[in-house]
Amino acid sequence: MNIQKMVILQSAKIGEMTPLMEAVINPAVPLTDDLVTTYAGTAMDGIHKYGRWNLFNPTALMLAASYNNVDAVRKLVSTEEARMQNAHGWTALMYASVNGHTECVKLLRDVEAGLQCSDGTTALIEAAQHGKVEVVQLLLEKEGGLSTNENFEHGSGFTALMAACRANQYDAAKLLYDFEKGMTQVDGWTALMWAASEGQYRCVRLMMPAEAGMTINGSSEEFRGWTAMTWAVCNGNVDCAELLAKDELNKSRNDILRIIQTSDDLTPDQIQQCKDFLM
């Protein structure tokens, strides 16, 4: 039995979709107190498809949060299903957040905020990267500053602000700015670096006052000392690099020269643009 599976097995029975789950997702089925009493605490064995999302081992509360069934969430949040996590550590609050279901988030926030997935992801991180601005506002005070662990695909220390900047969710990034600016991943990556590496111009401009000049410190020797400007050039985001030049050119010059001399990915026009602002 793997560790991720144990997250749910420690707190719930596993079975087929229950009559309670059917009532949660089907408005034609009455959601009675008897159903709650009988079936609360059971997680579905398998995957439930909701829109573009795959819900792994969902409970009735997770389904209610996903389907924006506010009445069902209100009934179930006081049961044993609150704070349950599925095979990947997802909670009802996370499903409500990623879908932008603000009323469900309000009901779940005080009970489930602060819980993290097996990779450290939070409801706030999911809301930020999907541009659910109202949800970001609701979760800032409780989850701002939390970050991922070493199991996350982009490494340990990845924050909601980094997620917003990487995905060009500018309005979410503005809300998160005062809470998480200056935070770094274990190797030194910043929200500004994520914005620059992905070519997110407005987010680069937003983050510059707080993070310009910061460098990679714990990655491989090849990338040590790289700035947001260096990452922008490496990925061909010359407009972002030009914006960063006034603050980072001196720290970035040697690495950028090496990139434009050896890169097979930059176009001749991009290389010439880089040479122009290096002069």
| Digit-coded pLDDT (tens) for 224-235 | 999 999 999 999
Instruction: Write the CB contacts of 106 (distance below 8 Å, at least 6 apart in sequence).
Output: 138
The pLDDT score that the predictor gives to residue 159 is: 99
Average pLDDT over residues 159-166: 99
pTM: predicted TM-score of the whole model, two decimal places: 0.93
Spatial distance between the Cα atoms of 15 and 5, rounded to a whole number of angstroms: 14
**Direct distance between the N- and C-terminal alpha carbons of the chain, in angstroms, rounded to an integer:** 60
pLDDT band at 26 (very low <50, low <70, confident <90, very high): very high
pLDDT band at 219 (very low <50, low <70, confident <90, very high): low
The pLDDT score that the predictor gives to residue 7 is: 42
CB neighbourhood size of 58 (10 A): 29
Tens-place pLDDT, residues 33-66: 999 999 999 999 889 988 888 899 999 999 999 9
Spatial distance between the Cα atoms of 7 and 88, rounded to a whole number of angstroms: 8
208 pLDDT higher than 50 = yes
Average pLDDT over residues 240-266: 97
The pLDDT score that the predictor gives to residue 6 is: 36
Considering the chain, what is the average pLDDT of its residues? 94
The pLDDT score that the predictor gives to residue 10 is: 45
Question: Which CATH architecture is the domain 187-279 placed in?
Answer: Alpha Horseshoe (1.25)
Average pLDDT over residues 82-90: 95
Tens-place pLDDT, residues 87-110: 899 999 999 999 999 999 999 999
CB neighbourhood size of 238 (10 A): 21
pLDDT band at 9 (very low <50, low <70, confident <90, very high): very low
Triad 161, 115, 26: Cα angle to 5°: 100
Which has more pLDDT, 31 or 222?
A: 31
